[in-house]
Structure 1
Amino acid sequence: MKRRALLSLLFLGVAACTAGNRASDSSSAAALEAYPPEGRFLEVSGERVHYVEKGSGPPLVLIHGASGNLRDWTYRAVDQLSRRYRVIAFDRPGMGYTPRIDSNGASIQQQAALLSAASRQLGAERPIVLGHSYGGAVALAWGVEHPERASGLVLVSAASQTWDTGVPFFYRLTSGPLAGIANPAISALAGEDRVLDAIAGVFAPQPVPPGYAEHIGAQLSLRPASLRENALQRASLKSEIARMLPRYGQLDLPVEILHGDADTTVGLQIHSVPTSRQIPGANLVVLPGIGHAAQHAAAPQMYAAIDRVAARAGLR
């Protein structure tokens, strides 16, 4: 009986996986059709990188956060900033239209190396590097590992310190041995309401700006391969930051840090407050009442921080 029950469960699991794969293939194809690449592609040491470039002036690189893509920046920021800067927004590896570069998940150091090399290939030798959330950790890795390739850093709601809690169950599931079953099912079954709820949670306590949910292309992040890559990156982030922390004191470039005091995703006191003390000359701007999506909810303050870095770096 036990053997028969196990065989039945195995059969049901395989059937569910097959059905999930078919449904997720359909939803992935629909996502690619609904949200085609907005920019161009660059080959860097054999790796393909998707980017959007606009404007003229001092070069400025924008790096998006976890579960996202460069559309987070093309919603408004690229157009606004391109009036004064040469803006380059990248899809990070495994997200959007930049393919994965490591089967075990690209580290923040690997991502910084790839994107800084891509920036140099585009002729932006020493850009200002701005990162939001997880992208802020990549920006920090860029500054720590390749200081000669950056004029300054702007860290917005950035993950920059270690924390006490472990990896959330969702990321353990979508990166673990059951990912082959779980990820296609999540991809196929994630309804619009759940996607909208997740976006609202990132913006809280501010409302989601009009048209953002339609623009961001969350379905791109729900593709099974992107779910797994995002989870692998998130699972290893704390240990990667731990290795980078001792080198913050060596940073010798302008650094502006913005963080909302209502951010429940990346805590101000856990991350940006100690980081601002560890980086020589770093300027911390606390945003009262602002949640995690400070790049949108406090866009004028972000633009001002970029201008301060440009002035401090002698680019203005």
Structure 2
Amino acid sequence: MTAFLIVLAILIAIIALPLLGLFLFSRRMAAKVEAGMPPAGQFTDVKGGRIHWLSKGEGRPVVMIHGLSGNLHNFTYATAKPLAADYRVIAVDRPGCGYSTRDRDDLARIPEQARMIAEFVEKEGIEKPLIVGHSLGGAVALTLAVNHPERIGGLALVSPLVEPQDEAPPMFRSIDISSPLIRRLIAETIAVPMAIRRGAKTLALVFAPDRPPADFGVKGGGLLSLRPDAFYATSTDLHAVPMDLPGIAPRYGEISVPAGVLYGAQDRVLDAQTHLDALRAALPEIEIVTLPETGHMPLAAAPEETESFIRRMADKTFA
């Protein structure tokens, strides 16, 4: 029996020690990232968490909601500054992302994220903003328009997730994890080392066919993904999408505010035609802009075209 216990203890140590090492490495990396990229804005408490947000400029309000695995720096990289010359530009971290928080996993559901952002808009006295939503943030923006129409003035959708999909985009399928326990175990051990190893390749796939800017990791907020909590939030967001989008999509026809959509025709994350067709069918008057050579990240890859599109939608919203 003693020999058995010794062998068992050795086996446990063989398993536990590497996991402990990975855990400590991941937490040290998260601390370094947060020291180098601390919160850039301010915080507003809402039911179920708090919203981290950054405001630039003065004028009519434009609220920006980023996509999967993103943060508000996706907008401040190239889009927010020129718009802030004429508008009050408010970039938010979605609940659970960047430095925003959510208290429970069910708050990753799209209607809950929309509800928390609507509460933020109300608390901060932001009157009928133009909502800019990128990728998954586009689905949140559409849900805001459907569930909280009194809080918004217009929609400017950039590469939005619109239609339910049979499966996650290829570059994200490996993180579509249904078990919260396994999700957390991976987040605290191998997620950060794997992100360091594969991060450049994943970013290239998301941007393709455009080339990711060399400074996107810092200036665009990419390094904030090198944290266990960021992986956990991204995986939870991804798993939540098919729970809600099939119920939201049939209601797009209820949207009455000015709406427009910009898509890169070469998007490798979402199929542009599928999502544009869905919006065109639901909202025949929607303004559609297609960039023939651009992929999923026009915010950084085609900033001038993105700015011009948002300005046109602001003109319609605030007319």
Return the TM-score normalized by structure 2: 0.90
Does the 8 Å CA contact 1:163/1:270 hold for their aligned counterparts? no
Within the candidate set 270, 274, 277, 2:278 is matched to 274
Q: Are 1:165 and 2:174 counterparts? A: no
Q: Are 1:16 and 2:18 counterparts? A: yes
What's the offset of the Cα at 1:170?
1.8
Say if 1:281 and 1:189 are closer, same or farther in 2 by CA, change over 3 A. same
1:26-79 deviations in Å (ceiling 9; x for gaps): 111111101101111122246321100011111000011111111111112121
What's the offset of the Cα at 1:8?
6.5
Does the 8 Å CA contact 1:205/1:290 hold for their aligned counterparts? yes
User: Match for residue 94 of structure 1?
Assistant: 96
Within the candidate set 2, 25, 29, 2:27 is matched to 25
What's the offset of the Cα at 1:291?
0.4
User: Match for residue 227 of structure 1?
Assistant: 231
Within the candidate set 172, 184, 187, 2:188 is matched to 184
Figure out how many residues of one structure are paired with residues of the other and give that number.
Answer: 315
Structure 1 runs not aligned, ≥5 long: none
What's the offset of the Cα at 1:308?
2.4
1:241-275 deviations in Å (ceiling 9; x for gaps): 11101111111111101111100101112212222
The letter of the residue matching 2:304 is P
The letter of the residue matching 2:28 is S
**Percent identity at matched positions?**
32
The letter of the residue matching 1:39 is G
Does the 8 Å CA contact 2:217/2:223 hold for their aligned counterparts? no
Matches of 1:280 and 1:6 in 2, distance apart? 67
Matches of 1:300 and 1:72 in 2, distance apart? 15
Shift >3 Å, 4+ stretches = 2-13, 166-169, 172-177, 190-193
Structure 2 runs not aligned, ≥5 long: none
More moved, 77-86 vs 118-127:
118-127
User: Match for residue 111 of structure 1?
Assistant: 113
Say if 1:221 and 1:100 are closer, same or farther in 2 by CA, change over 3 A. farther
Matches of 1:174 and 1:298 in 2, distance apart? 35
More moved, 175-184 vs 123-132:
175-184
Q: Are 1:292 and 2:300 counterparts? A: no
User: 1:171-210 to 2 correspondence within 5 Å?
Assistant: 171-173=175-177, 176-190=180-194, 192=196, 194-210=198-214
Does the 8 Å CA contact 1:183/1:224 hold for their aligned counterparts? yes
Q: Helix, strand or coil for the counterpart of 1:252?
A: coil
User: Match for residue 307 of structure 1?
Assistant: 311
Matches of 1:158 and 1:81 in 2, distance apart? 20
Q: Helix, strand or coil for the counterpart of 1:270?
A: helix
Q: Helix, strand or coil for the counterpart of 1:177?
A: helix
Matches of 1:262 and 1:4 in 2, distance apart? 59
Q: Helix, strand or coil for the counterpart of 1:269?
A: helix
Return the TM-score normalized by structure 1: 0.91
1:153-182 deviations in Å (ceiling 9; x for gaps): 011111110122368542234854323332
Root mean square deviation, CA, Å? 2.5
Does the 8 Å CA contact 2:128/2:153 hold for their aligned counterparts? yes
More moved, 50-59 vs 103-112:
103-112
User: Match for residue 256 of structure 1?
Assistant: 260
Matches of 1:5 and 1:241 in 2, distance apart? 51
Matches of 1:91 and 1:166 in 2, distance apart? 22
Matches of 2:79 and 2:175 in 1, distance apart? 29
Does the 8 Å CA contact 1:23/1:184 hold for their aligned counterparts? no
Say if 1:149 and 1:188 are closer, same or farther in 2 by CA, change over 3 A. closer
Say if 1:175 and 1:72 are closer, same or farther in 2 by CA, change over 3 A. farther
User: 1:56-75 to 2 correspondence within 5 Å?
Assistant: 56-75=58-77
Say if 1:82 and 1:29 are closer, same or farther in 2 by CA, change over 3 A. same
Q: Helix, strand or coil for the counterpart of 2:26?
A: helix
1:180-210 deviations in Å (ceiling 9; x for gaps): 3322233441464532222222211112234
1:124-161 deviations in Å (ceiling 9; x for gaps): 12100001111111111111111111111011111110
More moved, 193-202 vs 80-89:
193-202
Q: Helix, strand or coil for the counterpart of 2:94?
A: coil
Matches of 2:244 and 2:300 in 1, distance apart? 27
